Amino acid sequence: MGDLKGKTALVTGASRGIGRAIAQRLAEDGALIAVHYGSNDAAAKETVEGITSAGGRAFMIGAELGVPGDAEALFAAFDAELAACGAEPGLDILVNNAALNFPGRIDEVTYEEFDRTVAVNIRAPFFLVQHGLRRMRDGGRIINVSSAVTSTAHPSQIAYSVSKGGVDTLTRTLAKDLGARGITVNALAPGWVETDVTASRRATPEGRAALAAYSVFNRIGRPGDIADVAAFLASDDSRWITGQRIDVTGGSML
Ligand code: NDP
């Protein structure tokens, strides 16, 4: 287990799914966690309560992403909540996890769906990094959540795939720029994971089996499978890794 005592981490989309698991794991490792969410404040509260009842430290911040001024609003809330809990200002770990997915092939996606996908999945992380860097201490960590859809082609998720391609490029490009400050930037690329996003596909035994069959381990990924790798990337143990996109698909691409 890494030692993140004294560090502050912001995890976007931490009310549910993979983001919640990352928040919980970084808290177990000792970090103070800003649990970001969009609209589901009950779920965010559950994440915070889970962390604090296990002896960790966390606070929640709500901010809609994909709208003008989203990064400013999120960081204004972050600064205020950090001060309210008596913590030092500043940030050590930024996890860009929140995203959405409008399925659709090239002839189906509307302008509005495309714009919304890009605004939430890549424009928001871009400006969260811009604002986050003004607060991030040297030696910090940026972890972006990408997807297996940038390894293999998924025509039925073309807008989402394009947005996640941007996440990979952002990761590589930033890593080169931020090395001088000792900040590493890496991406995690999960395959199918048991979250609300895959709930309908997992609703039948056949659906579950089909998703499980992607992995060489013949099971669907769990949020904790991704969170444990995020914890490694957040820790000092990963200091010599930057600009990388790490496959966390349980061997689905082999
Ligand atoms: P979930 O849908 O379970 O959770 C999404 C989280 O993001 C929630 O916390 C939600 O907040 C927040 N969020 C979504 N849209 C917005 C928005 N516009 N503004 C603010 N917050 C928002 O997602 P997963 O856990 O499944 O996915 C997490 C990441 O992993 C994403 O980047 C996704 O692309 C990636 N991924 C997931 C895979 C999977 O199989 N699940 C596979 C590959 C990649 P709220 O609760 O308030 O709605």
Whether ipTM exceeds 0.90 = yes
Cβ–ligand 1 distance for 197 under 6 Å, the answer yes
Instruction: Judge if the beta carbon of residue 195 lies within 6 A of ligand 1.
Output: yes
How far apart CA 88 and CA 86 sit, in angstroms, is 7
CA distance 149 to 190: 9
pLDDT at res. 94: 99
**Which residue is closest in CA terms to ligand 1's atom 20?**
38
- The domain 8-248 is placed in CATH, from the list 3.40.50.10320, 3.30.2350.10, 3.40.605.10, 3.40.50.720, at 3.40.50.720
Out of 18, 45, 120, 208, mutate this one to test ligand 1's pocket (max ligand atoms within 8 Å of CB): namely 18
Give the lowest-confidence range in 1-10, 138-147, 227-236. Answer: 1-10
The residue whose CA has the least distance to atom 41 of ligand 1 is 193
The mean predicted confidence, pLDDT, of the chain is: 97
What percent of the chain stands above pLDDT 90? 99
pLDDT tens-place string over residues 45-85: 999 999 999 999 999 999 999 999 999 999 999 999 999 99
CA 121 / ligand 1 centre spacing (Å): 9
Mean pLDDT, residues 153-166 taken together = 98
Q: For 179-229, write each residue's pLDDT tens digit.
A: 999 999 999 999 999 999 999 999 999 999 999 999 999 999 999 999 999
Q: Answer yes or no: is the C-beta of 64 below 6 A from any ligand 1 atom.
A: yes
Q: Where are the domains of the chain?
A: 8-248
Ligand 1: centre distance to CA 168 (Å): 17
Q: Which of 10, 16, 188 to mutate to test the pocket of ligand 1 (most atoms within 8 A of CB)?
A: 16
Please report, for residues 23, 74, 124, 227, the alpha-carbon distance to residue 250 in angstroms, rounded to integers and kept in the order given: 21, 33, 28, 13
pTM: 0.98
Whether residue 1 has pLDDT greater than 80: no
DSSP state letters, 161-206: HHHHHHHHHHHHHHHHHHGGGT-EEEEEEE-SBSSGGGTTTTSSHH
Q: Which atom of ligand 1 is nearest to the CA of 164?
A: 34
